[in-house]
Amino acid sequence: MRRHFASGSHLILGLVLVSLLAAASVYRDDLFELRKNFEIFGALYEEIAINYVDDVRPQPFMRAGIDAMLTQLDPYTQYYDEADMVDMQLMQRRKIGTVGLNVGLRGGRLTVLAPENNAAAYRQGIRTGDIILQIGETLTDNLTVEEAYDLLMGQPRTTVDVLVQRGAEMSPRLFVLPRSLPRSQNVSYSGYLGADSTDGIAYLRLDIFGDRSAREVKRALRNMDRDGALHGIVLDLRGNPGGIVGEAVDIVELFIPKGSVVASTRTRVNDSVQEFKTDEDPLFPEIPLVVLMDRYSASASEIVAGALQDYDRAVIIGETSYGKGLVQITRPLPHNTLLKLTVSHYYLPTGRTIQSFELNSASARVAIPTLTSFKTFGGRPVRGGAGVEPDRPIAVEATSEIESVLRQESAYFLFADQWVDKHCESAGSEAPNSETPLNPRKVTPSCLEADIESFDEFMEWLPQSGIKVVTDSDAVLNRLESEIVAEKYQVTTELKSLRTALESQKRTQLTSLRQVIETHIREEIRARLLSEYDRHVQAVASDPWIAGANQLVRDPAAVRRMLN
């Protein structure tokens, strides 16, 4: 017996040695290829930089090469040069004061897109749609958005003069806006679903997984639970692009047992596995929970939704999520540069991946398994390799071409300006109040009911606005007309009939989109009249996805049936 054991030991030792020698051989081959190609690249770069027919700027030339090289990998691996690093460091310090305005170019003019709720600009009366004519002593005619932000920002507790034009008002308004450090909030809205708190149904919208996002979620839910015991929670992750994984783990920790694996990562190097576990007892272990997500919910959002689904703790409603299951880390490089590098895959508690894209090139491959069947810990079927698929899907109609054109041309945004000027009375020039923000218009019921005759007015305004609703069919007809003219065919009457028919079809399509158009107009008008909080209140009240989640979470038996 001992002899057999010894011979078996020798065999195992031999196999280990062979494996080590093979691994060493592969490593030497990889190292040789790395050094060889590095020498080739260096020689090529030096030859071109020194001997090319015209001057070559080394830094942009190298950056172009690096960017081209990284396009062979996944879209999340990125290089940051010294200038990028300076910009990021300034943003991270956030010691620069801001007046709380989001601005952009609309029709070539610097326009307020949305003042931040309760920031100085909003409290003093600046509203969405105001055109900024001057910042300090600088006219805005030729400013870029970046230059405008540079002028608006400055040391905290200083002020900046901003001259704005509102609608058809005869004279512009001058605001003296104080700068303050920006507030960073991850939870944009939390409150009760229903007439009041007595039903105990909490709703919370989380926009991003940034610093303190878990703390914000926990605080909001605990405060509502103190007001009256919660009987249901709706967590809205729609449009949330993700962020810090640790924050996602801490949020899941509120709902599942201590010591549970929320996610794991697996790297190519040594095939090492790292697990992320909860380390606190849950605050809400049994309260019915519904999570809303859409096709733009990604990364940390998918970890939260997927982990809660794997543990049969929440019903997921909406669309299949984006499918980003790759982990990035940052590596410092020489001369204050940085590489953000994809190093591993995320896996959910059942072992399934959420990565839904197979990224291939001649240089590298980010592979995913084919759609693979898994079972939640309660035995429900789920799939890997396809993002997080909802337990209750919501069908979303594809955006029509005309609707896309109207958005691209800012039609709703521009129409809302003149609609408010026409239908909403001026509020006068009362002094701003820090507790009740000054509204430039009286918020009357008729003023807020934007759907009353707004569509008919929009249809009258659109042809006079200068906005051209150009579709793919228009482009095809234009090409056809050019070829006909070039060939000198005599079909002018037929072309005119085609154009008339096309315009008639577009009007018919616009009429069929009446409800959608009125919804967009209503949102733009509310953005000019209501605070951010009040806009959220109204949006929550009219959102059909939230209504469906509210109906389900109020029925614990229905939730249990879906999770079993």
Q: What is the pLDDT along the chain (564 residues), one digit of tens a residue?
A: 333 434 445 544 554 455 545 555 555 666 778 888 888 888 988 888 888 988 888 877 887 788 778 878 877 787 877 665 654 555 445 557 778 787 877 667 888 876 554 466 766 678 777 899 999 999 998 887 778 888 988 887 678 889 999 877 777 888 878 887 765 688 989 999 987 788 999 999 998 888 899 999 999 999 999 988 999 999 999 988 888 899 999 999 999 999 999 999 888 766 678 899 999 999 999 999 999 999 889 899 999 999 999 999 999 999 999 888 888 888 888 888 888 888 888 899 999 998 887 666 667 766 666 678 999 999 999 999 889 999 999 988 887 888 878 876 778 888 887 888 888 765 544 433 333 333 445 555 567 664 456 889 999 999 998 887 888 888 888 888 888 878 778 777 888 888 889 889 989 999 999 988 998 888 888 877 887 788 888 889 989 999 999 999 999 999 999 998
Whether 238 and 364 share a structural domain = yes
The secondary structure of residue 397, as a DSSP letter, is P
What's the confidence (pLDDT) of residue 134? 94
Whether 406 and 257 share a structural domain = no
Is 54 part of any domain?
Answer: yes
Specify the amino acid at residue 481. Answer: E
What's the confidence (pLDDT) of residue 103? 80
Whether 127 and 101 share a structural domain = yes
Positive or negative, the CA dihedral 421, 426, 427, 432 is: positive
Q: Identify the domain containing residue 491 by its residue range.
A: 401-530
Whether 105 and 200 share a structural domain = no
Is 279 part of any domain?
Answer: yes
Among candidate residues 153, 178, 203, the one where a domain is terminated: 178
pTM over 0.85: no
| CATH number, residue 114 | 2.30.42.10
Residues 495-503: contacts with CB under 8 Å, at least 24 apart: 502/473, 502/474, 502/477
Whether 202 and 346 share a structural domain = yes
Whether 384 and 412 share a structural domain = no
Specify the amino acid at residue 558. Answer: A
What's the confidence (pLDDT) of residue 374? 94
Domain count, the chain: 4
Q: How far is CA 336 from CA 86, 119, 295, in A?
A: 9, 35, 36
What's the confidence (pLDDT) of residue 361? 66
Whether 409 and 341 share a structural domain = no
Q: How far is CA 190 from CA 52, 89, 219, 546, in A?
A: 61, 31, 10, 13
Please list the alpha-helical segments (H only) found in 409-531.
Answer: 411-423, 445-448, 454-461, 472-487, 492-512, 514-529
